């Protein structure tokens, strides 16, 4: 009898609640140089930024430790990759005519298929996190203290559009 009552209460409660999720985020700071092709603003010249990437993970349930993830796992799977590949590096489009010059001088650089905008660097880090099996839903890249770009999942499962 009491089991039946509890079940009914639980179902009613579930139907009335919006689907709630856990989220965790970790900031990764890194310095990078770049320049943008096909662009007339200041970023067409070689220059650098002190960027901050914020990696957001999401899940419906926690593990038996009560965690979505150990923050140290984000460090191991994403931050170390950023440290080794993007930090203190020149991030350039593979079509940039300066690439052969840097290569001839033995200068370090990281090549992207696309223009190295904040949007595309956010996507690059997002795809890295995804390839490591992390439940990433958003990467936000702060290129300056005032400007950021994000790459994120367009919709979240279980939340109905209205
Ligand atoms: Zn820039």
Residues making up the chain, counted from first to last: 162
What band does 151 get if pLDDT is binned at 50, 70 and 90?
very high
93 carries an active-site annotation: no
Enter the tokens of residue 4.
């039946």
- In the chain, what are the domain boundaries? 20-152
CA of 143 to the centre of ligand 1 (A): 7
What is the value of pTM for the model shown?
A: 0.83
Handedness of CA 23, 72, 135, 139 (dihedral sign): positive
CATH 3.30.479.10 fits 20-152, yes or no: yes
Given 34, 49, 93, 143, the catalytic residue: 143
Given a contact cutoff of 8 angstroms between Cβ atoms, the answer to whether 53 and 125 are in contact is yes
What band does 17 get if pLDDT is binned at 50, 70 and 90?
low
Given 29, 60, 88, 107, the catalytic residue: 88
What band does 16 get if pLDDT is binned at 50, 70 and 90?
low
88 carries an active-site annotation: yes
Which tens digit of pLDDT belongs to each residue from 20-77? 999 999 999 999 999 999 998 888 999 999 999 999 999 999 999 999 999 999 999 9
Given a contact cutoff of 8 angstroms between Cβ atoms, the answer to whether 136 and 126 are in contact is yes
Judge whether residue 162 has pLDDT over 90: no
What band does 15 get if pLDDT is binned at 50, 70 and 90?
low
43 carries an active-site annotation: yes
In three-state form (DSSP H/G/I as H, E/B as E, the rest C), the secondary structure along the chain is: CHHHHHHHHHHHHHHHCCCCCEEEEEEEEEEEEECCCCCCCHHHCCEEEEEEEEEEEEECCCCCCCCCCCHHHHHHHHHHHHHHHCCCEEEEECCCCCHHHHHHHCCCCEEECCCCCHHHHHHHHHHHHHHCCCCEEEEEEECCCCCEEEEECCCCCCCCCC
């Amino acid at each position: 009898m009491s089991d039946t009552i509890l079940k009914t209460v639980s179902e009613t409660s579930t139907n009335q609640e919006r689907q709630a999720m856990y989220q965790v985020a970790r900031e990764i700071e890194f310095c990078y140089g770049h320049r943008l092709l096909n662009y007339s603003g200041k970023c067409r010249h070689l220059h650098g930024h002190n960027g901050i990437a914020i990696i957001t993970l999401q899940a419906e349930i926690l593990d038996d430790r009560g965690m979505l993830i150990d923050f140290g796992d984000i460090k191991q799977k994403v931050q170390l990759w950023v440290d080794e590949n993007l930090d203190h590096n020149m991030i350039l489009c593979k079509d940039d005519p300066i690439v052969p010059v840097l290569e001839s001088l033995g200068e370090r650089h990281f090549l992207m298929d696309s223009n190295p905008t904040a949007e595309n660097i956010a996507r690059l880090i997002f795809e890295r996190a995804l390839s490591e099996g992390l439940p990433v839903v958003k990467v936000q890249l702060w290129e300056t203290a005032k400007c950021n770009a994000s790459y994120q999942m367009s919709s979240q499962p279980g939340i109905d559009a209205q």
